Structures are given as structure tokens and as C-alpha cells.
Structure 1
Amino acid sequence: MTFVVPPGVYAPQDDTALLAGSLQDEVLPPRAQVLDVGTGTGALALAAALRGAQVTAVDISRRAVWTARLNATLAGKRVRVLRGDLTAPVAGRTFDLIVTNPPYVPSPAVAQPRRGPARAWEGGSDGRLILDRICAEAPPLLRQGGVLLVVHSALSGEARTLERLRSAGLRAMVTERRFVTFGPVLRSRRSWLRHMGLLGPDGDKEELVVIRAERPQ
């Protein structure tokens, strides 16, 4: 699909494509309730809507919310797009599937930016500023048999994600891996990543992982 991507909104990239492939592999019940957290352009929300799911998408960025609504209209698909902080706009609801491509890039800055395009990828000093919140907030929103799909960099600690999701009562495992060449953000941080022990001396590729976590029936 072709998406409108205005300045300041995260464009679909390798992580989006990897997660979209995992979404396509999921068996969804009829009229499945799907949540896309941090929707950006709405690419993942639309991938679910094309499968006949009833989709809710959330983003904290006003521009992303507008963009996702526009892309859904252009695709002729109904997606409910809400503005808010992670899962706050859907408190009290439950879903068959939750997908999320959160900010996960480790950064010399401890806090996430309050505005601007970098808010879509900056994950704090260990890349887990938003990831840990998702591990805490998403499990209670899953129905029995519901599935959470999350993509992030192995630099951000896949073992910690698995541990937190399992502690929340989910069956969690890495289901996809893909190495991709560093983009401009990680290229600019090579020295810092090496200093932090996150990258070897010859590292120039990032390993992306998709983690699937299911609530037992």
C-alpha cells in the first residue's frame, strides 16, 4: 500500500514490514478486535483492517492521528484513531490482538523528547523507556487467547521483554528475527553504542525481533 507520510510522522520501515508479516500470520476470530499502539501512518492498523478486523489505533502525536485517519480514508477502510498516551485511550477495553512498533532506539538522552519526529524512535538510555510500559500496560487488555505482537531492536534487550511479559502471565517467545543495515540514527550513535557495550567494534547491522505473547485460554 501507498501511505501519505508528512514530515514529522514515522514512515513505514523494516520494523513495520517485519511486524506486518507477523500480523498476517495470526489467525484472527471473526470481527476480531485489534489495537495498534503508536500507529504513526496507520500502516499496521490498515493491515489488520484489510483482514476484516475492527481496528482501534492510538498515537500521542496529533499529526500521526491525522495521518492515520487520512490513510484509512484513502484506503477505504474504517479505523478508529484516538490520540493519547499508549493504552490510556482504551482503558477498560479488551482485544484479540495488540500490535505495537514502539520507540526503542537506545539514546544518550535519558528522557524521551516531548515533541518532534524523534519521539517516534527515542527509547531512553537503554531503549526501554516505552517498551517497559507496554509490557506492563498491554497484558491486561488481552482477552483469553489474545496475542500481543511487539517489534524492537535486540539492542533494547529482548530477554527483558520476554521476562516481563511472562511475569504478566503471558506465553512469550521471539518468533521473527531480521538483520538490517543501520539507519542514520544508529549510524550517528556507533561510538556511543560501543562505549555502552551494546555494539561490537565491527557492528554495522541492527537485529530486529518480533516477540509474540499470548494470554492462555
Structure 2
Amino acid sequence: MGTPGHSPLLTPPGVYAPQDDTELLLRALARERVDPSTHVLDLGTGSGALALRAAGLGARVTAVDIAWRAVLTTRLNALIARRRVTVLRGDLTAAVRGRTYDLVVSNPPYVPSPGARPPRHSPARAWDAGPDGRAFVDRVCDEAPTALRTGGVLLLVHSALCGTLATLRRLADAGFDASVTDRAVIPFGPVLSTRRGWLRHQGLLSPDHDDREELVVIRAQHA
């Protein structure tokens, strides 16, 4: 699948292909002031869609993913698109410890999953995030302050199934001015469709909304 509105990206099996959540985050990125002086960090880059868009706007971009396949895919997509992107393998901000950025963007795994822990060696590692879906969302919230410069911005997308208010509160506790800046309601995809009963049992899904989910983009500015 390609970056919405742009040339197709390579997305081999096991690498997250751009979808509705990517589109929302791309729209949010377009609203930010990005130029050649802007340092951008893309956490959980997948195929590199967000990193390449930021580089296309002139930013100095670093992209991180824990999966070697995603790292190599992003490097190849950057080469094909002739975009300069530094791509590192690592566990979120551990790959860039000690460095700070003007803008951090992240589309982390956020799908609630029956497993006690997110998978480590399967394609589902790109979306499964533990029973409440917050295994990585919480970590991005907690690690963002050390990765952002004063006045820097975090753009984070996730499903409302894993708790929009919980994210806003966690970011506020970390010293951010955070708000929801975009939303989209989309039909369940194959993964959520197979988990409808489990989600309802967990109290994450009401009978009135058992065939669609809300995606949210949260913008948080570091004080």
C-alpha cells in the first residue's frame, strides 16, 4: 500500500502498511510548521510513510523501529524517494538517547489483544499492544519529554478503544498541553472483527458500537 496521495511505498509482509491512522497523522503533520531547521523523530516508523513526508517538507528526520524488516524497508523507501532519512533500529527512544527534537510523530501499536504481553516475533507486533492496548502508547507518553526540546510537539495517533482520556491525562501529568486535534470513525478491520466478542467481554466495546472504531490524533506541546 502507498502513502495516501503519494507514490506507493514498499510494504513487504511483516511491515505495517499505511492505513487510516497514517492518513490522520499525515494530515496533522501538514498542519505543523516544518522546514529545513526542524528536527523530526518518527517512532515506530514501519514503512517510513511519516518520515518520508517530513523529509519531503525539508526536515531533518530520524526514524526508529525495533523490527529490522521495517528499518530496511524504510531505508529502501527513502532511497527510492530520494529522501534523506536517518533510520535506526531500537526500542522507541532508546535508539536516540540523549538527542532532542522539535517534533516527534508516532503511530505505535495500539490494538487491544488477549495476550498478556505484545508479541515479539510475529507480524502482529506491528499492532498488538496488550489487553488494554496501551503497552506502547504509555511508553511514548512517558518517553516523549526526554526526546523533545522545550516547546516541542508530540503527534500521536491511536484508537479510542485504548482510552483517549487516559492518554490526555498521562501527557498532562508529564507536563504537556495536550488535546485531540483530529478524529475519524472507521469500520473494523480483520483483526478487530475477530476480537469483537473479546473486546465486549473486556468492557472496551459497547453493543451499539461493535463494528467501528474511532481513531484520534493527539497533539501535545512540551512546556
Same fold (TM over 0.5): yes
1:153-164 matches, within 5 Å, as 153-164=159-170
Tell me the distance in 2 between the aligned counterparts of 1:28 and 1:68.
20
Unpaired runs of 5+ residues, structure 1, are: none
Unpaired runs of 5+ residues, structure 2, are: 1-5
1:11-160 matches, within 5 Å, as 11-28=17-34, 30-160=36-166
Tell me the distance in 2 between the aligned counterparts of 1:20 and 1:28.
12
User: Aligned residue for 2:222?
Assistant: 215
* TM-score normalised by L of structure 1: 0.98
Tell me the distance in 1 between the aligned counterparts of 2:61 and 2:114.
35
User: Aligned residue for 1:206?
Assistant: 213
Query: Alpha-carbon deviation of 1:33?
Result: 0.3
* Root mean square deviation, CA, Å: 0.8
1:171 has 2:201 as partner: no
User: Aligned residue for 1:7?
Assistant: 13
Tell me the distance in 1 between the aligned counterparts of 2:169 and 2:146.
16
The residue type equivalent to 1:186 in the other structure is: L
Does structure 1 conserve the Cα–Cα contact (< 8 Å) formed by 2:38 and 2:59? yes
Tell me the distance in 2 between the aligned counterparts of 1:152 and 1:117.
18
Tell me the distance in 1 between the aligned counterparts of 2:132 and 2:120.
18
Tell me the distance in 2 between the aligned counterparts of 1:29 and 1:56.
15
Query: Alpha-carbon deviation of 1:7?
Result: 0.7
- Percent identical residues: 63
* TM-score normalised by L of structure 2: 0.95
Tell me the distance in 1 between the aligned counterparts of 2:146 and 2:178.
15
User: Aligned residue for 1:197?
Assistant: 203
Does structure 1 conserve the Cα–Cα contact (< 8 Å) formed by 2:35 and 2:58? no
Does structure 2 conserve the Cα–Cα contact (< 8 Å) formed by 1:110 and 1:124? yes
Does structure 1 conserve the Cα–Cα contact (< 8 Å) formed by 2:34 and 2:54? no
Query: Alpha-carbon deviation of 1:80?
Result: 0.2
Cα displacement string for residues 72-119 of structure 1 (whole angstroms, at most 9, x for unaligned residues): 000000000000101101000010000000000001111010112100
Does structure 2 conserve the Cα–Cα contact (< 8 Å) formed by 1:28 and 1:96? no
The residue type equivalent to 2:219 in the other structure is: R
Query: Alpha-carbon deviation of 1:29?
Result: 5.1
Count of aligned pairs between the two proteins = 216
The residue type equivalent to 1:171 in the other structure is: D
**Mean CA deviation greater in 193-202 or 156-165:** 193-202
